[in-house]
């Protein structure tokens, strides 16, 4: 894991990850809400996210695909969706470090 002088514990920016990808991935209030739920530190299934957000599973699944495609979330073999390893700075405060952007997720 490489680090930067400004943030010695920050994970390296993944290859192919850009601010444009971040902005595109965050282009929906629904995706912000999904990230907020996931940033609490526990991996969640699509069905759990849908229930917490009061949305249909299909809608949440569609938005999760965008988040995954842009490198903002990962899904493990068990189907649990989470912030990529090393990116969650504080589950209590909802702070996620994407290398070129530090997000402080708060309720919209």
**Domain containing residue 52: CATH number:** 1.10.10.10
Q: What is the pLDDT of residue 33?
A: 92
Q: Which ranges of the chain would DSSP assign to H, the alpha helix?
A: 19-25, 29-38, 46-53, 57-69
Query: For residue 69, is it within any domain?
Result: yes
Which whole number is the average pLDDT over 13-27? Answer: 69
Of the chain, the percentage scoring pLDDT greater than 90 comes to 44
Query: For residue 8, is it within any domain?
Result: no
Res 40 pLDDT > 60: yes
Query: For residue 15, is it within any domain?
Result: no
Instruction: Please state the pTM of the whole predicted model.
Output: 0.77
Of the chain, the percentage scoring pLDDT greater than 70 comes to 81
Query: For residue 94, is it within any domain?
Result: yes
Query: For residue 47, is it within any domain?
Result: yes
Query: For residue 48, is it within any domain?
Result: yes
Res 103 pLDDT > 80: yes
Distances (CA, A) of 105 to 1, 15, 64, 78, 89: 25, 24, 17, 25, 11
DSSP one-letter code for 84: P
Query: For residue 38, is it within any domain?
Result: yes
* Residue closest to 80 by CA, chosen among 107, 108, 40: 40
Query: For residue 16, is it within any domain?
Result: no
Range of the domain at 51: 29-104
Q: Convert the pLDDT of each residue in 45-96 to its tens digit.
A: 999 999 999 999 999 999 999 999 888 999 999 999 999 988 889 888 888 8
The tally of domains found in the chain comes to 1
């Amino acid at each position: 894991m490489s680090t930067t002088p400004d943030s010695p514990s920050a994970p390296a920016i993944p290859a192919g990850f850009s601010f444009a990808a971040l902005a595109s991935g965050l282009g929906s209030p629904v995706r912000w809400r999904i990230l907020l739920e996931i940033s609490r530190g526990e991996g969640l299934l699509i069905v759990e996210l849908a229930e917490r957000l009061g949305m249909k599973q299909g809608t949440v699944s569609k938005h999760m695909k965008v988040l995954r495609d842009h490198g903002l979330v990962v899904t493990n073999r068990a189907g649990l969706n989470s912030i990529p390893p090393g990116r969650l700075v504080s589950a209590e405060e909802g702070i996620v470090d994407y290398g070129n952007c530090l997000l402080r997720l708060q309720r919209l």
